[in-house]
Amino acid sequence: MMLFWSLLSLLPLLVAAVPTSSAEEKIWDSLGNLSPYHPAPIPVGVSADLPADCTVDQVMLMGRHGSRFPLASELVYIQNMTYKLGNASAAVAKAKLPSSMQFLKEGYTTKLGHDDLSAPGRLELFKHGVNFRLKYPQFNATSILAGGQDRVIESAQWFANGYYGRIWPNISSTVFSEIAEDNVTVSWITPMDTCPKWDYNYGNNATVAWGKIYLPAITKRLNKLLPGVGLTDDDTHGALYACAYDLAAYDVSPWCDVFTTTEIKDFEYELDLLMDGAFGYNLPGVMGPTLGSLYVNKLIERFSNASAEPVYLEFGHDTTIDMILTALGLAKDTPPLSASGPVNPNRKFRTSNQVPFAAQMVWEKFTCSSSFQGPQIRLVLNDAPLPLTTCAQSKEDKAYGTCSFDAFVSSNNFSTSISWGDAAWNSTCGNPGF
């Protein structure tokens, strides 16, 4: 225990050690759902703060786990690329490389693990816990719920250490709980697991198609700089993953400077297509809104109940947040994102801003003495209000990104008309059969 608190005493030094140059931030902020945490941009014309006469009465947090090592399926690309460069060390040594690629002459190796939370991910969640306590000092959370996956569980625990401080070890057994992530547990954190018709390949197929468009040009450029190495598009993919995951693991990556801004933006679009295709608007029919309806109904149920807890702290995945946004009709592009391009720089569905590592979806129910009449609701996504455009009615709503709670409920009648396992759910997802 003394060691833990000694490490926490180094927190200011750790924070100070994180690179902050504008060039690095630009790279970090454009890595889609693999971006380290950063605040989303505040929409033009929308106030970040509520009027002074307003009081937040109830809060629900859905947090994503922090920065992690690559998934096993992603790590293979990095390892294969590294192995190929190592086998071609003589060709690399002879190559005339720009300054951004000189690191290759020293030999690039990777020691990345897979799937688990990284050290920067722990720091992200600890800081979130501290900041949440400071932002809502009027509340004292009495429970934390985490999806039953190791990186989610550990993220929730680091948040708890920041939020509760030194008393956390004494109360953890009564405050902390998990909800299984499997195909027999109905969960608003992983609703796709109990939807037999859902398939991850809805998104994966789109990324493969887009990769065939944007990766060859990068591979050709790199092979001109590295004659004799014989890089493939898969190797280029591995190098892009190395940029994102070195950052996630070590706060720095030599690979990020290898790519142009356009190339990074194309990689970001690939990740947007993946999330939109597997967990968003490009799922078939109404599957996306149906999956997200479980959370929307939970939100409405809690905010409608006068005896509900004042604060809920829950932790899941980027996919959780994307499905919620889809059910709400937010961040929706018309026409939808296309795997054939072109990349729309003004698209609404942008995972870099929606679901970076350690993303925070915070719902506030509030009342005001004069600025608004009756209970209101607001969504703060990654420290920036995300306007509730589907239910906004007044000029005040537009100024603060809010809407009345009654209007919010009415605008989400699609979600409230669905219950897990009913005819509407089963017609979209199939019968789970348990």
Domains contained in the chain, CATH given: 30-67+119-198+288-434 (3.40.50.1240), 70-114+199-282 (no CATH)
| Helix, strand or coil, per DSSP, at residue 167 | helix
Query: Looking at 65, 128, 237, 317, which residue is catalytic?
Result: 65
User: Mean pLDDT throughout 1-22?
Assistant: 39
- The whole-number average pLDDT for the span 117-121 is 98
* Rounded-to-integer distance, Cα 273 and Cα 339, Å: 7
Mean pLDDT of 325-348: 93
Q: How far apart are CA 10 and CA 319, in angstroms?
A: 33
pLDDT for the residue 378: 98
When the pLDDT of each residue in the chain is averaged and rounded to a whole number, the result is 93
Average pLDDT over residues 116-139: 98
- The angle subtended at Cα 118 by Cα 117 and Cα 122, nearest 5°, is 80
Q: Check residue 138 and give its pLDDT.
A: 96
Q: If you average pLDDT over residues 370-390, what whole number do you get?
A: 98
Task: Report d(CA 149, CA 108) in Å as an integer.
Answer: 31
Q: 65 catalytic, yes or no?
A: yes
* Amino acid symbol at 226: L
pLDDT at 21: 35
Among 251, 272, 318, 397, the active-site one is: 318
Q: State yes or no: pLDDT of 14 exceeds 70.
A: no
* Confidence bin at 302 (pLDDT 50/70/90): very high
- The Cα 304–Cα 321 span in angstroms is 21
Q: What pLDDT, in 10s, does the model give residues 33-86?
A: 999 999 999 999 999 999 999 999 999 999 999 999 999 999 999 999 999 999
6 pLDDT above the threshold of 80: no
Is pLDDT at 25 greater than 60 in this prediction?
Answer: no
pLDDT for 342 equals: 80
The mean pLDDT of 291-320, rounded to a whole number, is 97
pLDDT of residue 55: 98
Q: What is the mean pLDDT of residues 79-104?
A: 97
- pLDDT of 233 strictly over 90: yes
Is 318 known to be catalytic? yes
> What is the average per-residue pLDDT within 342-366?
95
pTM for the predicted model, two decimal places: 0.93
Judge whether residue 115 has pLDDT over 50: yes
For position 433, what pLDDT does the model report? Answer: 73
pLDDT value at position 8? 45
Alpha helices, H only, 29-149:
72-87, 89-94, 119-135
- Give, to the nearest 10 degrees, the angle between helix 119-135 and helix 233-250: 50
How confident is the model at residue 409, as a pLDDT? Answer: 98
Do residues 337 and 202 make contact, with C-beta atoms less than 8 angstroms apart? no
Query: Which pLDDT belongs to residue 1?
Result: 40
Mean pLDDT of 146-153: 98
